[in-house]
Structure 1
Amino acid sequence: MLMGVRADGTEELIAMADGYRESAESWADLLRDCARRGTRAPVLAVGVGALGFWKVLAEVFPEARHQKCWVHKTANVVNALPKSAQPGARKVLQDIYNAEDREHALKAVTVFEHACGAK
């Protein structure tokens, strides 16, 4: 399944097809069909795993920027920490995600490194 989010935050189903989620062939069929139907390249593609998706996205829509899903990335980082450090780490990771600009995000990254780096 391929979902889109418009600039105003409206979500929209773009395409759905049977396939194996890690399969480059399945993703190629879906993305090429979207391109044939006139779908423009996404400004930003966000996903989890699905290695076939990332490979084919670069072929079909090379101008699209890639980003791993922040929710899943955060869960992976937090799960690698001791239980006692997890609530504080979640808060600082949210500060990074919600930063108003790159400068503030980098400051929050430094806070995270000092708070959780050794853990």
Structure 2
Amino acid sequence: MSNSTLQAVTQPDAGATDPLHELLRKGARDLIAKAVEAELSTFLEQYADKTLEDGRRAVVRNGYLPERTVQTGIGDVAVKVPRVRDRSGDGITFSSALLPPYLKRARSIEELIPWLYLKGVSTGDYQEALAALLGDQAKGLSANTVSRLKKQWEDEHADWQKRDLADQRYVYWWADGVYSNVR
């Protein structure tokens, strides 16, 4: 039996959509598309002078990768990343800095996970907590995933504790005292 104190925020019915929410997602989708297109234009300009023997460009645009979704604070946003073809065979590939190949969640969602952990949400309740905060689109965070992330945070903390402070100078105050609430 779960002793969860989480209260789910009411989400609109699957058939009904929130117009403002949909407008925000559409705006985010369009903005991401324009930003990735600008990245691609810059990338193609770098290789504009690289041509084949017959005068054609060696690096050209070649459609899109399959559409995928990215979890954001406003829900899942569908994204399409352009594909580039290298006709010269040099192995030139385009990788968006905005949408790396395996990005599944926005950084704000990634930062939410440790915050929930620090607030005492158990690993088994993450799915329910994220669904309450982000809606039904919050998927893909099983207890195993959270446990793996927790292990990664512990490793990072251990590395942080072992860092060398020999060349650093810190000023600190030490206060010691006893507080007693005797009647």
TM-score of the pair, normalised by structure 2 = 0.23
TM-score of the pair, normalised by structure 1 = 0.31
Name which structure has the greater RCO, CA cutoff 8 Å, separation 6+. 2
Q: Which of the pair is proportionally richer in helix?
A: 1
